[in-house]
Amino acid sequence: MDWILENAFLIPLIPAVSFLVILLFGRSVIGAERVHRVGITAVGIVWVLSMLAAVSWITRVEDSTSYKSDDAEHAQIAVNEGLSASSAGGLDGELHLAAEDDGYGDDGGGYATTEPVISEVDGWWSSSGVDFAVGTLVDGQTVLLLIVVTSISLLVHIYSSEYVKGDRRFVHYYAFLSLFTASMLFFVMAQNLVQMIVGWELVGVCSFALIGHWWEERPNTDAALKAFLTNRVGDIGLLIGVIILFGTFGTFDIDAINRAVGEMGSEVHFAMLMASIALMAAVCSKSGQFPLHTWLPDAMAGPTPVSALIHAATMVVAGVFMIGRLYPVFFEGFSIGTSSINLMAFIGGFTALIGAGLAFAQWDIKKVLAYSTVSQLGYMVMALGVGAWTAAMFHLFTHAFFKACLFLGAGSVSHAAHHTFDMREMGGLRKYMPHTYKTFVISTLALAGVFPFAGFWSKDEILLGAFAGQESAYPLMLIFGCVVALLTAAYMTRVIWYTFWGEYRGHGHPHESPKVMTVPLWILAVMAVVAGAFNLPTPVMRIFGLEGLAHLVQTYAEPTHYLNAIGLSHPPPSFWLAVVGLVMALAGIAITFMYFWRNTGPHGLTERNRYAKAGYTFLEQKYYLDHLYTDIVVGSIKAPIARAANWVNDNVIDKVVNTAGEGARDSGRWVYRWIDQGTIDNTVNALGSGADSGGQGLRVMQTGKVQNYGSLLFGTAAVVAIVFVIVL
């Protein structure tokens, strides 16, 4: 049963082969318009394998849980499993640490410890006699990501076959989708940090290539460059963080590092702090956290399905995944267990807040969604920062589905509305494209966190994590979380308003997208509804008498073998907090509705009259409340705060990036001109020309007349003789 877990390398291998096949034979053998079949088939196989892996993993966890009653036997099995994990793959792997340590589960507070399945082969590279292995590490977290990546990737592959049809580079598009899927899968099952870097960079390159897919236009390539370079900045942190971890523990092995942190604890606190700060920079760039988030909205220059796959559901969560993967490091480094505020939680919370604020100021539907992604990623990072590992991963899981659905919906809208993403040229589309509209609304409700959609459950867990904390609560994070919940609901309602309600403001005749696009939308929408069921709290399940199915993510995905060692605790569910979260979301929706309605009447400002024409007459009588909310809450957020944030974003952060780039170029020019050419080169040239002018001077003496030479000869002889005879 564990076959797939031990041979997990097949999972990234298949899309990688698909990449090569499409790239090498796509145009010639397969035919340019048929390459999507290769990609879809490959990802389909991988999806099946991932599901198999999930089933295998769950079985494995079940097995180890049932053995828990018998400690001795449990240990024995763990050893056996470790052995089979490393040898059954037919690779000359070593008996791994995983097989030797088995004691963590016993004090795990009621949770079974299930060892990760590590398959590795030695000799990937070596130094001073130490061989570094390459291999796969499969545990619950990996399996969770496998499901997310392959599912979204499969749907995007299918969706794209219509959306990108007839594109100038259809073949390249599918090739890079395959390569991206391969890289992302390689990343999530990395056994060591170097592999992690490899995957991390490769997804970045695919992102670069796909953002710049239409590279004939300058803005697209600028956006691609910006994305890649911003990520490179974060990669400095990744490199240094990995190096610090290697320097401290002498290994790249993720499993060994996590266990070592658990054992050593505060002995290595300072090193872990440094490593965490460095790695945090990497997270900021990859997962669009403040202050390195600016590339993500620009990255929307790529094709929309790519935005859905890479810049919403999968690649951008790489940073979150990495934190989760190296959680003991961050837990120790940032003292998550004992503090009530820390860098990670603050960056996450703050990013969530400013991302949500910025989403109000956008007219481009994809940019709204991009800022929303920034905000939601901030949520996940914040969750990890407050110690809510499961909540973060659960939110990652649910968010992937509803955000992908939103992006694909936006793509569908644009497909209908003549390839524009400007909401001012949309409107009233609910009549023309009912499927897109329905799925978009469902996903919006999920994102807003309305009961009982998926987002509600995962957001609630994050708020719960902030509320309970570990040893102490994280009050600021709780406030951030609640405010963001409100804002999220508000800006998403605004999007729906502009896009689907009112009269159509664009040109041409909008139409519903074909089935090949709407079916993926519906699948994602269904997931947006039911994904929450994967980690329902026990009290809720008790209502249905299905207590055994509660906390699935927590039970199966959590790497208890690491987390138990650092003593991570799980807060009990809180009904009232859930109510608060729900109220926030509903309030956000309500406020927005009122805002748009309020501008209809004669008291409204003239600039907002067209919203009135768009029609929200049934909200008219709530005028006073609307006035209050609009001017004080939404107005203050929209005008000063969001604009200021946007201004800061464009004029300060962006400016700093641009200025730094220009400054580097200018100083490069300056150094080149004055130091390189001016000083160093001139010194060399001066030596040369000095020799030359010396030669010119001496040249006068070369008269060509024998007697002059003779004079010189005898004169010199005389002088030398004088020196020898008299002086010496």
Give residues in contact with other proteins (CB under 8 A): 123-129, 194, 197-198, 200-202, 205, 212, 215-218, 221-222, 225, 228-229, 232-233, 235-236, 239-240, 243-244, 246-247, 661, 664-665, 667-669, 671-673, 676, 680-681, 684, 688, 699, 701-708, 710-711, 714-715, 717-719, 721-722, 725-726
**Shortest Cβ 450–other proteins spacing (Å):** 42
The amino acid at residue 24 is L
Half-sphere exposure of 637 (CA within 13 A, CB side): 25
Encoding tokens for residue 108?
A: 């795990």
**CB distance 404 to 447 below 8 Å:** no
Q: Which is nearer to other proteins, 605 or 700 (CB)?
A: 700
Residues 205-217 as b/e (b if ≥16 CB within 10 A, e otherwise) read ebbbbbbbbbeee
Q: How far is CA 87 from CA 7, 217, 544, 561, in A?
A: 11, 52, 43, 21
**Shortest Cβ 133–other proteins spacing (Å):** 10
**Shortest Cβ 694–other proteins spacing (Å):** 13
Dist CA 64 CA 19 (whole Å)? 38
Q: Which is nearer to other proteins, 644 or 722 (CB)?
A: 722
Q: What is the DSSP string of 160-223?
A: HHHHTTT-TTHHHHHHHHHHHHHHHHHHHTBSBHHHHHHHHHHHHHHHHHHHTSSTTSHHHHHH
**Shortest Cβ 250–other proteins spacing (Å):** 10
**Shortest Cβ 35–other proteins spacing (Å):** 16
**Shortest Cβ 247–other proteins spacing (Å):** 5
Q: Which is nearer to other proteins, 7 or 230 (CB)?
A: 230
**Shortest Cβ 168–other proteins spacing (Å):** 10
Q: What is the DSSP string of 453-493?
A: SHHHHHHHHHHHHHHH-SSS--HHHHHHHHHHHHHHHHHHH
Q: Which is nearer to other proteins, 35 or 53 (CB)?
A: 35
Q: Which is nearer to other proteins, 655 or 665 (CB)?
A: 665
Q: Which is nearer to other proteins, 579 or 718 (CB)?
A: 718
Q: Which is nearer to other proteins, 472 or 702 (CB)?
A: 702
Q: Which is nearer to other proteins, 479 or 721 (CB)?
A: 721
Measured at the CA of 470, the angle between CA 351 and CA 584, to 5 degrees, comes to: 45
First to last CA, the chain: 99
Dist CA 461 CA 585 (whole Å)? 15
**CB distance 534 to 552 below 8 Å:** yes
Q: How far is CA 440 from CA 101, 297, 332, 427, 522, in A?
A: 48, 20, 41, 14, 9
**Shortest Cβ 511–other proteins spacing (Å):** 32
Encoding tokens for residue 154?
A: 């499969």
**Shortest Cβ 370–other proteins spacing (Å):** 22
Q: Which is nearer to other proteins, 601 or 710 (CB)?
A: 710
Dist CA 444 CA 501 (whole Å)? 15
**Shortest Cβ 97–other proteins spacing (Å):** 20
Q: Which is nearer to other proteins, 97 or 225 (CB)?
A: 225
Q: Which is nearer to other proteins, 55 or 243 (CB)?
A: 243
The amino acid at residue 65 is T
Distance of CA 329 to the CA centre of its chain: 19
**Shortest Cβ 667–other proteins spacing (Å):** 6
Dist CA 221 CA 224 (whole Å)? 5
**Shortest Cβ 272–other proteins spacing (Å):** 15
**CB distance 388 to 466 below 8 Å:** yes
Q: Which is nearer to other proteins, 472 or 708 (CB)?
A: 708
380 three-class SS: helix
